[in-house]
Amino acid sequence: MARANNALTLGMTGTIAKQIVYRTRGGKTFASKYPDMSNVKPSEEQLKYKFIFGEAVRYAQGIIRDPKKKAAYKVKKGASVYHTAIRNYMREHAAH
């Protein structure tokens, strides 16, 4: 990862044409090659958790789209209903 040390890229984040990735860490901007994930084969466990996470997102979206469910969902002060719902779903379903 190379440090992008000029006024044009300062604070930049994101990708350009799936060729270059810009990241900002600690106030410094870095450029790197876009990751090639084409040869990565996820394990069975990774696929399982990816599926469960997708279900958790759908569950959380269902809650935040319904004003009554959203108002009734208990969250800690300062926490979001969406992220709390995902965390709760993952804790309940990922351990099984």
pLDDT greater at residue 14 or residue 43 = 43
- Residue 95 in this model has a pLDDT that exceeds 80: no
- For the chain, the average pLDDT equals 90
**Alpha helices per DSSP H over 1-96:** 44-65, 67-72, 81-94
Strand stretches in the chain, DSSP E = 2-3, 14-16, 20-25, 28-33
Question: What's the DSSP call for residue 67?
Answer: H
pLDDT digits (tens, 9 = 90+) for 19-28: 999 888 888 8
Q: Where are the domains positioned within the chain?
A: 2-33, 44-94
- Residue 76 in this model has a pLDDT that exceeds 80: yes
For residue 83, the model assigns a pLDDT of 96
